[in-house]
A and B are shown apart, each in its own frame.
Chain A
Amino acid sequence: MSATLDKTHDERILRTSPLRRLLSRPEFGSVVGALAVFLFFAVAADGFLRASSLGTVLYASSTIGIMAVPVALLMIGGEFDLSAGVLVTSSALVSSMFSYQMTADTWVGVGVSLLVTLAVGAANGFVLTRTRLPSFIVTLGTFLMLTGMNLGLTKLIDGTVSTKTIADMEGFPSAHAVFASTLTVGGVDFKITIIWWLALVAIASWILLRTRAGNWIFAVGGNQDAARAVGVPVTRTKIGLYMGVAFGAWISGQHLLFSYDAVQSGEGVGNELIYIIAAVIGGCLITGGHGSAVGSAVGALLFGMTSKGIVFAEWNPDWFKFFLGAMLLLATLLNTWVRKRAEAAA
């Protein structure tokens, strides 16, 4: 239009340097953090750089990462799921107990577990969108109920706090191969969960960046009212996100079960926070609308490196939590600072 108008725009564009672009990537802070932690343990811990350690670190990262991916998507969509940790255990318990009580084929249990777990996720989303209560409250309720049910039902059915072994059942070897096998590449053992994890990161990234659903996820987390006003199905998007978390919980739960052959019903409490921390360290904005699946993977990798690095350095593992807290604070500060610099309105 007018010359003066165009000129003000040019000024703004000039200020968007490639460096600023890089800084505004959600995962930037976590990549810097991961490099720092890697260098730290490479120096401080003997054996951290050994090839066999790579498999160990990646395995630890993958068990967190499989859940951190859908939890990150949910957080980008503006919500939390505090029931994610115990839902993993519930999923394993349903699978194990259904197989044991009803049939002799583990795959039937695996299938039923998928349905039940997805139903719990859908219920989370349904209650949230119907009641319009904060997700903190809704999923805290689910968390407590599931924790109680995991223990209560297991004791009721099996008489103890752990399930009976299903190792001698039909389909156990194949299910074990899918969810808990080990692949050896170049003499290094890699758990199959690493492949699940990487596949989930790839799929989630594609959904976020290249599909309509991804656009909707960013929108419902960034400004729910605006999204609704332009016709985004907010309810459907949120329920879908909770079902995504449930799907992750199903994979993790089956891994938990088929790594051994029985499940401890009290497991999983507290893990929900670890998933959330991995997502936040990976650059997800806790208030929604910003973040990435790759970031959550880097966050999970930071976890894996720290938890195993401390072991390799032969320190007391109690210090793990201390590192975690410090990392969370630093990462959040860094992310906030980076975002402010990158998005400072002209």
Chain B
Amino acid sequence: MTLVRLTGVSKHYGTVRALEGVSLEVHAGQITCVLGDNGAGKSTLIKIIAGLHRHDGGTLDIEGEETVLNSPREALDRGIATVHQDLAVVPLMPVWRNFFLGSEPRTGLLRRLDVDFMRRTTHAELLRMGIDLRDVDQPIGTLSGGERQCVAIARAVYFGAKVLILDEPTAALGVKQSGVVLKYVAAARDRGLGVVLITHNPHHAHLVGDRFVLLRRGTMVGSHTRDEITLDELTSQMAGGSDLESLRHELERG
């Protein structure tokens, strides 16, 4: 099922052409990778899907219905959740408080927090994603970067996301941590979510991706399904084959 479809989408900031003619599909139970170097337009693209910016041209279909998203809240209501790399959590707060932040369940006459439910649910939901956190009371800042990403992913899944946008989830992580995060990304996919994975690492993308969209300087330079492209081709397209060749030439020693 196609959850999100972008067709020839473009976005201009004043006279700057940030995005031009980009098409992309997100299917349930699949991972669509968006690859590109810094300034390629990856951020602009996810901001359009996440409802932070409106697109100027082309169409955005959500579950087959043409849509213009006006706010992140609208995107959330349509089941599109975004996990940002840096502003995912409040480090000093316990894991369970972070998990429910902004959507706290309440109970009783005095509308107090349903703390038992919050603790239990946090533990259970993390377990479903493959993290066995005995102590949901520890500050989330004591978790590793990968685990924090995982909590944010589990949170989005719990609150009914159908589409999960992950903004460079492995950018600040080491090799091992990246592997852990990619496993959780795969776990979210296996639970039937459509995932959009933004990255500039073709190795990470090729490990989990079903579709690959390559961006360079605001335009789409490639769109492939998994069986159409090898890792080497992906890497070379991503770096810009000819650019890499000329760089090698420049760096060659006398």
Chain A contacts to B: CB under 8 angstroms: 1, 5-6, 9-10, 12-13, 16, 206, 210-212, 214-215, 218-219, 222-223, 225-227, 229-232, 285, 289-290, 343-346
8 cross-chain pairs, A with B, having the tightest CB-CB distances, nearest first: A1-B130, A230-B102, A231-B102, A222-B90, A223-B90, A212-B104, A289-B92, A226-B87
Judge if B139 is at the interface, Cβ distance under 8 Å.
yes
* Of the residues A218, A285, A290, contact of B97 by C-beta under 8 Å: A218
Q: Whole-angstrom distance between the alpha carbons of A225 and B144 in the complex?
A: 20
**Interface core residue of B90, B104, B130 (most chain A CB under 10 Å):** B90
A222 and B92 contact, CB distance less than 8 A: yes
**Interface core residue of A222, A227, A346 (most chain B CB under 10 Å):** A222
Judge if B73 is at the interface, Cβ distance under 8 Å.
yes
Known interface pairs A1-B130, A223-B89, A290-B92; A215-B135 also in contact (CB < 8 Å)? no
Q: What's the minimum C-beta distance from A258 to chain B, rounded to whole angstroms?
A: 31
Number of chain B residues close to chain A: CB under 8 A? 36
A226 and B89 contact, CB distance less than 8 A: yes
Known interface pairs A210-B115, A212-B104, A226-B87; A9-B93 also in contact (CB < 8 Å)? no
Residues of chain B contacted by A290 (CB below 8 angstroms) = 92
Judge if B232 is at the interface, Cβ distance under 8 Å.
no
A215 and B106 contact, CB distance less than 8 A: no
Q: Whole-angstrom distance between the alpha carbons of A225 and B102 in the complex?
A: 12
Q: Whole-angstrom distance between the alpha carbons of A285 and B141 in the complex?
A: 15
A218 and B180 contact, CB distance less than 8 A: no
Residues of chain A contacted by B87 (CB below 8 angstroms) = 223, 225-226, 229
Q: How many cross-chain pairs have Cβ atoms below 8 Å apart between A and B?
A: 90
Q: What's the minimum C-beta distance from B86 to chain A, rounded to whole angstroms?
A: 8
Q: Whole-angstrom distance between the alpha carbons of A231 and B87 in the complex?
A: 12
* 76-109 of chain B: CB within 8 A of chain A: 76, 84, 87-93, 97, 100-104, 106
Q: Whole-angstrom distance between the alpha carbons of A346 and B135 in the complex?
A: 14
**Interface core residue of B76, B115, B139 (most chain A CB under 10 Å):** B139
Residues of chain A contacted by B133 (CB below 8 angstroms) = 9
Residues of chain A contacted by B134 (CB below 8 angstroms) = 9-10, 13
A219 and B90 contact, CB distance less than 8 A: yes
* Of the residues A9, A211, A222, contact of B131 by C-beta under 8 Å: A9
Chain A interface, >50% SS class: helix
Question: 26 A-B contacts, Cβ less than 8 Å apart?
Answer: A1-B187, A9-B134, A12-B142, A13-B134, A13-B135, A16-B135, A210-B112, A211-B113, A212-B104, A212-B106, A215-B97, A215-B101, A218-B90, A219-B90, A222-B92, A223-B90, A226-B89, A226-B101, A229-B87, A289-B92, A343-B92, A343-B141, A344-B142, A345-B142, A345-B144, A346-B142
Residues of chain A contacted by B135 (CB below 8 angstroms) = 13, 16
Q: Whole-angstrom distance between the alpha carbons of A16 and B95 in the complex?
A: 15
Q: Whole-angstrom distance between the alpha carbons of A134 and B128 in the complex?
A: 42
What residue in chain B is nearest A232 (Cβ atoms)? B102
A227 and B102 contact, CB distance less than 8 A: yes
Residues of chain A contacted by B130 (CB below 8 angstroms) = 1, 5
Judge if B121 is at the interface, Cβ distance under 8 Å.
no
Q: What's the minimum C-beta distance from B113 to chain A, rounded to whole angstroms?
A: 5
Q: What's the minimum C-beta distance from B119 to chain A, rounded to whole angstroms?
A: 13
Judge if B132 is at the interface, Cβ distance under 8 Å.
yes
Residues of chain B contacted by A212 (CB below 8 angstroms) = 104, 106, 111, 113
B112 and A226 contact, CB distance less than 8 A: no
A210 and B138 contact, CB distance less than 8 A: no
A222 and B112 contact, CB distance less than 8 A: no
B93 and A219 contact, CB distance less than 8 A: yes
